[in-house]
Structure 1
Amino acid sequence: MESPAVTFTLAYLVFAVCFVFPPDEVRSAGLTVQSLLSAWLGSEDAAFVQYHLRRSTGTLLAHSLLPLGYYLGMCFAAPEKHLCFFYLASKEWKTFFFFAVLLPAITSALAYYWSRKGWNNHPLARTLAVHALPQSGWRAVASSINTEFRRIDKFATGAPGARVIVTDTWVIKVTTYCLHVAQQQDIHLTVTDSRQHELTPDSNVPVQFLTIRVASVNPYVKAFDIRLNSTEYGELREKLRAPISNAANVVIHQSLSDLFLETFTSLVEINQTYHVPSTQELEPCIGCMQTIANIKLIKNCQEPNEGECQQCYCRPMWCLTCMGKWFASRQDQQHPETWLSSQVPCPTCRAKFCILDVCLIR
């Protein structure tokens, strides 16, 4: 049986990770810095910049207390270590306690320094000052951002710790400890990477995430990356003034059907193939009339007399892309999580088939 110290250590590790990187369940329970300090932070809608000045400071302070919290918990989880009596603790625990106390002491001093002179010393204030006109300061920039953030036509996406906000003038990335800010008129945007996930915590359908590099012509503004779902790409482009270049030649899927078609293709490519007889001549796909028909429906998912799928006796008449579009068009658009496991009728003879029955012609 595990000792209480080991159990507490594992439990505290999980707690610390969830506290620093809160999942949706933790956020809904209100166990986040934003929720715990909501009375002090104020309203993000009323004063966006001031809210994040306090939020970033409070987050740093709260996270710095985690090592000390672990030490205090171990005082009760492992009484044999005599951690409650500092002079009786081992050298290793004394060192840990020293750093556990030193860390929040340093962050407290840093937070006090940042808050002096109306937050003039905060890194966010210095970030905004870069965008200020010669006769104004960072507060004028903050006022502009606050005003535009309150508008309902802004683009906003992402989790609280990794949000992307685009207003008429500003592109903002919100992270756990800081904000990245750039003016739209000064930026160049480039799609640098694309990652596709077959499953996500929120849905059972494939999702493509794009990484876009935001680089400013202002030498004092550090470049940063924003990450968003490809289905939001069109909305982002509408809000941006600058074009987005695609240096990596990434294929961007802006709809659920596009994502499904790519997944459909990848699954069919690992299916059993069909070797067309040498006497049979393939004709153009009757769907697009541009590509030679390259798929054949053969029941492979189950035995011939089992299941809902049926044997199709049609000759090859469709290309893979058109068959994928047909498959997607016959699905329940309100329940995309069922698409991959469903059956649809053959577009020619109406025999039911599933993805496992779609065979590429070799």
Structure 2
Amino acid sequence: MNEFQVEFVFAIAYWLFAVCFIAPPDAFRNGGLTVQNLFDKFLGSEQMDFVGYHLRRTTITVVCHSALPLGYHLVGGVVSENLNLFNLCYSGLIVQAYFAVAVCALFLGCCVASFWSWNNWMYHPLAKVLGSFNGPWRATASSVNIEFRRIDKFCSRTSTGGSRIYVTDSWVIKTSAYRVDLAHQQNVHLRILQAEEHPMSIETQTAVQFLWIEVQSINVAVKPFTLRVNSTEYGDIKDKLQSPIRNARSVVIHQTLSDQFLKAFKEQVTINQPYFLPSDAPEPERCVGCMAQVSNIKLMKMCRDPTDGDCQQCFCRPMWCLDCMGKWFASRQEQSQPETWMGSSAPCPTCRAKFCLLDVCVIPNVHDTANGTNQS
């Protein structure tokens, strides 16, 4: 391999590394070749100090990425000594111009980092956004940190170029290489912009759909930003959000296998024979599964003759809602054979009496005293 080929291969390898370092794929993240892993001790704990962690992370990321052009010049001088990269007086005009641009890039990166961290991070973009809400920005940062420590927050399992999505009780947050976008849940409008479909996912080797959701805040200091969410996570993020997600373009959202079954489960149960509570029966209590809805399901042997079949009569009082019963039924099935779920059976979650889908009866006109609505 001659000198030119060595230089060419080095250039390709270095800039491929630079691209992967800026937008790290799974292999780089697993190998620890990310800013977060390399400067782990300096950054601290994201779980304990979310705002402080990302103030430091975005700042040091700017410096590291701005140093990549100069790094190419320095490493290239070691690989190809005949280029005289360390002796600019004997280098060509192109090499001298590249060195000047590389030094300027690093200098600008350091200036940005110094400006952001000046006066205890007062001028960092994240601090300015936090300061646009009521009160000092550090008080708002403390509120964000407290909510981020809770285990019930939504965290996107998919990431693009190192970006992550979090939804806490009050905040919608998106972290990327150089910035952190966040908006208060009570002040946002959300809408689906488009769906992005791929015939095969690298992680699952199956078809995958991503939804682009725009987050627009009524706070003028918060710029609109977009969330790229896997359609399989759409139900989870929707449950955590306080505002509805408008689907004005009628984007068809691909559901998970469990979501599809739950939909079919509900459709079948609604056409089953209903169960009417006796006149002297007390009002059903909250579902013991979710404690959110009133129990509106009663298991009654309806599929076959009472003396025949595998199904058994359940004598439990209504204790479950339709959603929780559907999820329980799906969890007791053979996960590798979803085509058999509709015709299979499951044990009662309370007494273990076996029942099938035809035995699930809805209790009509169950009054929800907390919400003031009727569930059927």
1:127 partnered with 2:126: no
Distance 1:29 1:23, change over 3 A: same
Distance in 1, Cα, partners of 2:170 & 2:195: 26
2:152 maps to which residue? Answer: 153
Distance in 1, Cα, partners of 2:197 & 2:123: 41
1:174 maps to which residue? Answer: 175
Distance in 1, Cα, partners of 2:337 & 2:42: 42
Identity across aligned pairs (percent)?
45
Distance in 1, Cα, partners of 2:155 & 2:80: 47
Task: Select the residue among 93, 96, 109 that pairs with 2:95.
Answer: 93
Structure 1's unaligned 5+ residue stretches are: 260-330, 348-362
Aligned-partner residue type, residue 226 of structure 1: L
Structure 2's unaligned 5+ residue stretches are: 261-332, 344-376
1:21 maps to which residue? Answer: 23
2:352 maps to which residue? Answer: none
Tell me whether 157-166 or 226-235 shows the greater mean CA deviation.
157-166
Tell me whether 144-153 or 198-207 shows the greater mean CA deviation.
198-207
For 1:266-308, what per-residue CA distance to the aligned partner results, in whole angstroms no more than 9, with x for missing partners? xxxxxxxxxxxxxxxxxxxxxxxxxxxxxxxxxxxxxxxxxxx
**Correspondences of 1:1-362 after superposition (within 5 Å):** 1=1, 3-131=5-133, 133=134, 136-157=135-156, 158-159=158-159, 161-256=162-257, 333-334=335-336
Give the aligned length: 266
Distance in 2, Cα, partners of 1:8 & 1:335: 50
Residue 254 of structure 1: CA displacement? 2.1
Residue 335 of structure 1: CA displacement? 9.2
Distance in 2, Cα, partners of 1:258 & 1:6: 51
Distance in 2, Cα, partners of 1:152 & 1:251: 31
Distance in 2, Cα, partners of 1:227 & 1:36: 26
Distance in 2, Cα, partners of 1:240 & 1:100: 44
Aligned-partner residue type, residue 58 of structure 1: I
Residue 332 of structure 1: CA displacement? 7.4
Distance in 2, Cα, partners of 1:51 & 1:76: 35
Give the TM-score of the pair, scaled to structure 1: 0.70
Give the TM-score of the pair, scaled to structure 2: 0.67
Distance in 2, Cα, partners of 1:91 & 1:184: 54
For 1:57-116, what per-residue CA distance to the aligned partner results, in whole angstroms no more than 9, with x for missing partners? 011100011001100121122222211111111111101101111111121122112112
Distance 1:334 1:143, change over 3 A: farther
Residue 247 of structure 1: CA displacement? 1.2
